[in-house]
Amino acid sequence: MLRARIVTALFLVAGFLAVLFLLPPVAAGFVFALIAALGGWEWAGLMRAGARGRIAYAVLVFALCLLFWSSPTQGFLLLWGLSAVFWLLFAPLWLKQGWSASCATVGLVILLPTWAALVSLHGRSAVLLLAVMALVWVADIAAYFAGRAFGRHKLAPSISPGKTWEGVAGAVGGVLVYGFAVAPFLPVVRDVDRLTLAGCLLLLTALSIFGDLFESLAKRQAGAKDSSQLLPGHGGILDRIDSQTSTLPLVALLLHWVAP
């Protein structure tokens, strides 16, 4: 299992970097749409759809990506707005109440804005997209090690028993350190004052946790350990992008406002 996990991780990193830095924006956008479609196939599985239903939902996700791509100025903004409303207002209540997470509409609200954010941020700068995604990875890694070392108080035991408030504190600390370290090298945030930057980093950390917990809720309700077995040793696409689905669209929305 460890060997499969390492080999898969190496292929994922190499492939992702190739897409970011070697492919032109249009080709990269199609790859991102394919990833969204695979995520849709997994989401339909969490809805307990049959083989045909899963394929149909994946095709729907891919087709909607192309539809919104035909009018990105209005379409992307609409998707990011829907995502912000969902993650800032509905997702916290959803997690608290434990409502059924795996429904077709929710899957679209999760996947389509993420794809649009990938396309938009990559169009601005591959380095910018990588830096934003790395923020989520830093949060995950810091939370894991802080939780292992100091974890005592459960964050959401009925959804994800392994997560703790100490892990959340570790994620916050790691993201703040990372954010202030990389901000001087990113032109779009270089001149943002420290207080505003800190507030944005805290918000994104919270959203990354919501994204992780929401997918955990969907998997628990479906009785699944992983979203699929597409990635040996790593589960599925959704398992790798769960926290990205809640953070990338908001970053794209914020940048649309401050640096159109």
Q: What is the mean pLDDT of the chain?
A: 92
For 75, list phi and psi in degrees, rounded to 5: -65, -45
Place 214 in a pLDDT band, splitting at 50, 70 and 90: very high
Full-model pTM: 0.94
Angle of CA points 55, 60, 66, to nearest 5°: 130
Q: What percent of the chain has pLDDT over 90?
A: 77
C-beta pairs of 69-75 under 8 Å, 24+ apart in sequence: 69/29, 69/33, 69/119, 72/116, 72/119, 72/120, 75/116
Q: Is residue 159 packed enough to be buried (19+ CB in 10 Å), middle (13-18) or exposed (0-12)? A: buried
The pLDDT of residue 11 is 86
For residue range 172-203, what is the model confidence (pLDDT) as tens digits?
999 999 999 999 999 988 888 899 999 999 99
